[in-house]
Amino acid sequence: MTARRAVPALAATQASPTALYRTATALLISALVILGTVLGTMQARAQSAPPATFADLVDQVGDAVVNITTSAIVAGRQGPGPMVPEGSPLEDFFNDFLDRQNPERGPRRSQALGSGFVISEDGYIVTNNHVIEGADEILIEFREGFTLQAELVGTDPNTDIALLKVEADGPLPFVSFGDSEAMRVGDWVMAMGNPLGQGFSVSVGIVSAAGRALSGTYDDYIQTDAAINRGNSGGPLFNMAGEVIGVNTAILSPTGGSIGIGFAMSSDVVTNVVAQLREFGETRRGWLGVRIQDVTPDIAEGLGLDAARGALVTDVPEGPARDGGIEVGDVILSFDGDDIADTRELVRIVGESAEGQTIRVLVFRDGETQTLRVTLGRRETAEGLAATTPDGRVVPPQPAEVLGLTLTPLTDETRQQLGVPGTTTGLVIEAVDPASDAASKGLVAGDVITEVAQQPVADVAAFQERVQTAIDNGQKSILLLIRRGGNPRFVALSLED
């Protein structure tokens, strides 16, 4: 009886071959998933942990890093000239005599040092623009001990990047760019270069911060505590895979030496610049043709925008944006599918776009969004034309005081001095009453007022007329559009005493 009862129970625990196969497959898949997770965790820890040595990485990439020596003729110190009439046959004689007595008086050859790195086996080299700027001779010293003369392919002062080319007998060792966006604060990095002219040197540290802006329009710096000194400029900042994720460019230091605050232009910016320099010998950035300012919480609330985001359009001169239907007061929320957080992001994205490209631009206008299509121009062409085509009008200065501001009409001379070459009309602030609302709003001498009550203004009389009209209409404030160094922003001045 006992045996008979056991048989059915035993039979109930037996599985078919198909069921066993499914179970085994499930267990195998689970094991593989667990193994993959463990390996991934181990790999992540290995990447974040300090390596036992950086020597293998140095051997991997070191031969592609170069020292750069430049020389140029610079003007000497000016001293008293010879006491002979200009153009006299004795003039050259006296000049030669004075130059021999005081060598610094005449032109002399100056040398500078920097770093760079080879990005292709046929000899293209990346460095900083300030390393080679003004040089009439550029020599490249390789780690292996030989030296080659370089030719300048092109430069981009906006990002401080330059591209050089050398001719070698054979293929050169080179390094590749990595993804700077993938770098995290705390990741290990290695800098290589020629600090203080001491030759090939290596320093290591971590990414201290990302997305730093210093003073340029297209800034996107990686901050690092790896030691960077004079002479490191133009050298590479490597990740642990031996990829260039930045070009060492500047340091922050009260002493002039490294205190652990160095900046490298991110590879995501550099690769685009280098590609254009290599193809065209110059940059060809996209140009939208708008003046913009950040959207503050107050402005967002006033416009009915759900959050302080995007770029507020303050001016639309003749150009691609006006042709595409963008208007003053629009908030650009998206450009070519990329959300726009602020003005800096819009400038960067537009600059990375190609001229002639037609882009979808999402704007917020009158409480609604709409999509416009804009064909981009070229920024370099637009800036060049703006710098050489003033409107030519000569308006005699007529200083007058309005709302605590001493104003005079904009002229060709002040237009260039104040850095607003594309502004055709406006009023220059010559002085600000310290007790005025204008002073409390941050207006200073040198600011240019281009609009009053959202209308262009060319003379003081027009300003005074609009102020009086606003007072007559019971307004408590009047809106001004000012430009400082070419950058526009709106300011509301109180009309109440």
Q: Which residues pair with 80 in a beta bridge?
A: none
Contact 163, 275 (CB under 8 A): no
Task: For residue 163, give the H/E element and its range.
Answer: strand 161-166
- The annotation status of 130 as a binding-site residue, yes or no, is yes
Q: 122: helix, coil or strand?
A: coil
CA distance 293 to 489: 6
Torsion of CA 460, 466, 468, 472, to 10 degrees: 180
Assign residue 394 a region (left: φ > 0; alpha: ψ between -120 and 50; beta: otherwise).
Answer: beta
The tokens of 31 are what? 């094991």
Which residues neighbour 380 within 8 Å (Cβ) at sequence distance 6 or greater? 282, 283, 284, 285
- The annotation status of 160 as a binding-site residue, yes or no, is yes
DSSP per residue, 397-457: ---EEETTEEEEE--HHHHHHTT-TT--S-EEEEEE-TTSHHHHTT--TT-EEEEETTEE-
> What is the greatest pairwise CA distance in the chain?
139
- The annotation status of 229 as a binding-site residue, yes or no, is no
The tokens of 425 are what? 């009309």
- The annotation status of 367 as a binding-site residue, yes or no, is no
Which residues are part of the catalytic machinery? 130, 160, 233
Question: Which residues participate in the annotated binding site for substrate?
Answer: 130, 160, 231-233
Question: Which residues participate in the annotated binding site?
Answer: 130, 160, 231-233
